Structure 1
Amino acid sequence: MKKEAQASHTKNYSEAYRWFVGAGFIIVFLIIFLAYNFFDALSDSQVKAKHQFLSKQVELAAKDVQSQFSITFDDLMFFVNTLDPAVHVEGAKELVALEGRTRRVFNNHRNIVDTLIINYADRTVSYHFDAKNNFIKTVHDDDSPFWENSRHIVFGNSVNSISIVAIIDLDRFINNRLGNYYLGLSSEKLLYANGKVLGISDYTTVENFTFESKLYSEIDNDIRQGFKGSYQGSIQIENQRKSIEALIHQYPFTLYPLTDSLSVIFVQDKAVITSGVFENYIYLLGILVVLLLIVILTLFRFIKNAQIANQTLTRNTEKISELFRQQNLLLQESRGFIYFQDGQRVMTEVSSEVQDVLGYDQHDFLQNYRNYFSQEDFESLDALIKSAIAAKKESISFEFNFQKSSGEWIRARVFERLVYDKAMNFAGIVGICTDIQDKYLAEQEQIKSNQRLTSIMQGLPDNILICDYAGEILDYYVQDQVLFTVPMSTIVGRKMAEVLPESVENLLHKGFETVISTGKLVTLEFETLMQSGKKIFEMRLFKLDDERLISLARNITGQKLWEKGLQEAMEAAEQANKAKTEFLANMSHEIRTPMNGLLGIISLMESTSLDEQQVKYLRVIKDSGNALTSIINDILDYSKIEAGMMSLDISKFDLKEEVLKIVDIFNGLVKEKDIHLRYSFEEFIPNYVQMDKLKLGQILFNLIGNAIKFTPNGGEIEISVTGEVFLERNVMLNFSIRDSGIGISDDKIEALKMPFVQADNSNTREYKGTGLGLAISEKLIMLMGGELEIESELGVGSTFSFNVFGTIWHDQFQLHADEVKLDYQEGELESFDWVNMANEHPMSILLVEDNETNLKFMRMLMNELGYDIEIAKNGLEGVLAVQDRDFDLIFMDIQMPKMNGLEATEQIRNMKGKSTIPIIGLSANAFHEDINNAISIGMNGYLTKPVQVMEIALTIKKHYELKTKSDIN
């Protein structure tokens, strides 16, 4: 028996061995077969990956070339548009700046631009870098287009008649850009240009690549149609004398405004891609074969254990499958726990998550779970389950309140799976209980929110209609039923056009179309006639969601009446402001005109022989006249600011020089009062700035003048200027004027900024004035972007500080050789002797003036100057006088009968041979727009009445000098 058993065992073993060996050979064959196919798939994958890489790289390269060329084109276009025709004048600082800009163009676009040529009206200038990297400028007197045989782009500027020509080195540019892309070994970067394929190497292009004819024809056709493409085919490399099978990708691009047909072509030798894969794969295959043998030996040893494990696994499979099926049903919910009940609905098991959800341990919950929800909920749940069992339902779901171990009640949702046996007898329950407290609270809040929204909509004064896109009313909240033509109880389901007045239908239809097509809010306004009269309504239409619209209609009849009244009030205010402005202009003219004669006669009297008492009386009259003129100026300036008509006149000037000019004006008064005046400028304060020079001077004049006025004899005044630079060229200048004067009490500092207010408003006050200087200064400071601050202490002194915004100007101002400076320094005014100046400055002069007082003054003045002038008493007479005689200079009043001075100036400027006669305006109108208007019409200057004798004399002298200079040239 032992031998038979042994023989049987040996036989079984031999059979198993033969089966195992046979299976081994089959597995080895399959491994080799799969290895081959895997290698083939891996090779294809590598080739596809390389295709994707080349496609992306060639696209990036083409777009990079095109983008960089576009940037160069834009920079050159900006360069030519900002050129000044005059900057080519030798020695001009602008020429240095131009050459600097030209060098920056080369620095930014050296790889593209070989030579830059600027064509002016009278010459041609070219710039380039030579072989030693020297920046070379060449002036070409010959205007022949020497650049025509090279690739170039012409940029023109129709405004300034300048053009530039950029000679383009396309080979160097494209080679440089494509040099940034690495494709790997045995790869080539080619350029298709106008039907030729060029290789790229060391910033040169050569024709050393030949495509097979069919492949080239396909590539050429795609490029000419503007299509990118990927290909695979044979390429002949002439310098290597070999042919390769290659992957080819091309991406066409354009270089506007060049018309060349261009495309970037990237080539990769296919053999290189797969060779690396093959070498690595051989080693991998050998390792896999060794591992296979080890696995086979291991499997043979554990084959019997696997058989035993399979038997055990078979027995448990059915139970595990059922368990997984039940768990998959229950795990559809979250934040819960699983429980099991038997056929008598006794809780048999609960998962450990019950403690996380409710706070009870498993044993406590199994014993007492019925006590953790209300009796009412338990009865409802019991009835629901019994009903489901009776109906043989597979599952039920319900919500109820559950009490946690902390005593807190939460909302829970239960999903139960009812289990039946094969006879459909109830066998138990598998359930999952989930905490839905957050969701429940959110739903409750949503309900409350809807209720609040409904309350709000019902409380709004608007008539609210909710409708679909077809206009059918779905819901409404109406406060005023007067707009509707049908009872409110019948409007749901009707179209909006049916329940509103017939006159609204077309307007409503257009509004619906606009809202639906654009999604934007549309406001409609319409009128309708009712029993109580005409009413005006405003309706706003907008989308509520993708299916509904909402309209809000409101009676705006009262609002429209109010707006109409407001508009009428605004128009009345504008008319009043206009009348005020006209009144001030007329007042200025009426006061300044006699003041001109008064002060002019006084100036003439000062030059006559007078005794001491007469000089004293004359000085009082002159000071009173000047004071009255100053008061008029203050009133006009403040009225201008108050009306919002004051604007900034930006100019470039020497800041320190301007401040010192203002200080020098008070030099005599400072010496008279023995005031110690100091001034300082912070070290980095710029020399030249851009801002309104006149307004800055007016501010400093007022503040420094106040400081001197209120500082006693022997006192001190300190002026300091500091600043803060930001954003490179912007500066905030801070000015401080500190005095040791009488000081101001705290309760009067703010009041001082009000117009016509002084610290001492009594009739017996020591310091006189209009009280407008500080108010005007504060308004001007605010206009210039700053703020005025006042610090003061009675008996100690005051400090007035303000800041203004400006721009730093780095270039110094220069006067060209052909310009004449028209303003005089104070010393020049004092030294000029104007009596009988006609002997040295002979001029034929016409005076156009209608006021008899001014005529008398001007006659006497001109007589003192030595001139025999001709007089016209209105603009019409002045035009006729100019037609009959040649004059060297005309003094023209502005406001005159028959024809004013501006109209006369326009006619003279249109006369043949008379258009260049200098015309100086004389007017009592001191507004800046009056002056600017006169200059724009054609006047050469403008003197504001009252006119000083010295102003007339210097004006004649300057124009004599201009005439003399013109005659010499």
Structure 2
Amino acid sequence: MGIRKLIKQPRQANGNTLLICIDHNGIINSLEGPVIHLLGYQPDYLMGRVFREFIPDEDEHKLNCLFDNCTDRSEFRVRRSDGSLMYADAFVYDVFDDTHTHLGYCLRIYDMTARMAQINSLIENEEKFLAIIDNTRDIICIFRDRKILYINEVSVKMLGYPREELYRRDYFSLFSENDRERVEEYELVNKDKRAGRWNFIAELITAEGKKLICEFDIKSIRYGGSKASMAVIHDITDYTLALAELTQAKQEAESANRIKSDFLAMMSHEIRTPLNGVIGMTNLLLNTGLTAVQRDYAENIQASGENLISIINDILDLTKIDSGRMELESEAFELQVCIEDTLDLLAYKAIEKQLDLLYFIEHDVPTVLKGDVLRLRQILLNLVSNAIKFTSSGEIFISVQLLGQSADEVELKFQVKDTGIGIDPDKIAHLFEAFVQADSSTTRKYGGTGLGLAISKRLVSLMGGEIWAQSEPGKGSEFFFTIKAKTSLVAKPRLRVKGNVVQLKDRRVLIVDDNQTNCQILKLHFESWGMKPVIAESGQAALSMLENESAFHIAVLDYQMPGMDGIQLARKIRRMGRYEKLPLILLSSSGDHEQHSAGLFDARLLKPVRIKGLFDEVLHIMTDIEKRRKMAEPQTNQIDVNLSQRLPLRILVAEDNLVNQKLAISLLNLMGYKVDAVLNGAEVLKIMNEKEYDIILMDLQMPEMNGIEATIRIREIYPPEKQPHIIAITANAMLGDREKCLEAGMVDYMSKPIKIFELQAALEKWGALKLESRKIG
């Protein structure tokens, strides 16, 4: 034998091996590696003990052989603390000091227990390789160039051929005629692969003509000094038959489940019918003369009925998915629009709790996708509304990143993060089960059935993704989900803004907000537009930057900040000489402050901020500062608080976004008007059957019936003298939109955000004409 490797210090152990060093007397003097995990002993217990104490007597000769220098490697057993035996594959190293004095030995031990357990289940106390091979349950065959070089005893029993005949046969002749040509071609293609291993399923024919369905695991090996192939062949005939029976049983169970789901859906619909009657009659009851106590009872009935309707709707969604009747739509949509629409629907709830709703889409995420936007919005609504429900202060942040992309498909990862009460980690696994709450007590405090997350999980699965959560009590929660969607070039994106704009390039913008997440989001967007953003975390820090740093071209101020709010900061900036005319944009959750800040700001944007709206305002300001400054001068544009007396107009606001609706009402209230408001075009037609209006402020994009459709219906239904003047209100401001509005019968067009003086001017112009026509009529 060769000279054994000599070392001064053996290599360190890793997570899968033990390194045990002993002296000439066999006493353990050094240990490394997962001792407790593999042997169950504490390292201190082993130190100073004779290693041979832990070796069974029948294996001691193998250890002696290592130390007598007759071999470098041996296999033996080591007794664990619980009395069981660990099978060890050991390499020995001589250890010397700097003077070449022999100090002892180090054994690098690999745990072979799992492998030996499998071997021992086939044949006990057998150490010879050939005996193991011959007694395994699988056929093992080594072949080269179609000739069988070795085949184990199991092969003889399973195939029924004498061993001598098998050695004379062509290896491929063992396959059925249906598979022979396919297997030959398959192995020809795969045998030269670098990995040297491949798998397939095929049929073998026994001597009696019986077909065996087998799973093949083939690996390239060296045999007899040359390259060969070894096939481990596992008979899966019984398994295949059992799987077929299981599949049939599964189909029968799914059919039974569909019957159950159909019954549940039918019962849900049956419940809705009387429940709609309860809610409808309660609405009628609330419109009668009730005492305070009676009204309270009726309102409780109405709220309970509406909650029950919501639960039934969730059950219908759940049963529709479980019964396989949920089919996803596939249409082009803009991801940014989807997220912003979702946040708009929940903005009012967030404002009530003074929470920030934020989002950020990574710049490599495609802007236009093809899929079911309504179901994606439903998932986001469930997650964000839950986040709002369980968050008392702070923020809810949505982010989207690209995980992978092919020619026509992307995989996206969504995150919904909040600063709420958090969830115990041991309860997260049950979150996505139907009717399960993270804590049953939350049902009483926060409401809900737990169906929302169950439905979200199923919808995410239909979209080819997964959903999961991370949380700690008191530290907020993070919900993640992935989806797969097609990319689409059907429609050009309207909202995503990329690339530098000449008018914005290198312009310095000051961002003032105490919310760091919002600051970082705005910073990334401004940088993508070629601007140079600077962040201030408070009003005082902003004033310091304005005094000490080089000039800024524009500033974006948050309204709600501790210590000094956005309006107070704006007043201080206006009193600074060189920043008296600095363009300022205010970010706020409502428009109630407008009367206290006239002339301070060049633009106001409602939160959650729509990025396209922010871009349009910044670009407009930077390209036409002087014109906008004149429009904002308070001395030349005064709010007419008596406009309603001069022009007593009957005004209707049609706006589905509650925050924007509240803003429009607030602006009209400043002029003295008391107005009505509805959520969509269908409600416009309904209320016009009851009242006459002179002016309708009509949002273009509304559910059920949009502003264009409602306007066309009004022009068709009512005679000219009964028709109100309809003024379009839209966030799009796209080329051709004005023409579409006028063509539909609208008289004017205003883009969001609504400017109070533009609104006042429109009312003065069209209100005077309407009143004049009313007199003539």
Both structures adopt the same fold (TM-score exceeding 0.5): no
TM-score range, shorter chain: 0.3 to 0.5
* TM-score, structure 2 normalization: 0.37
The structure whose Rg is larger is 1
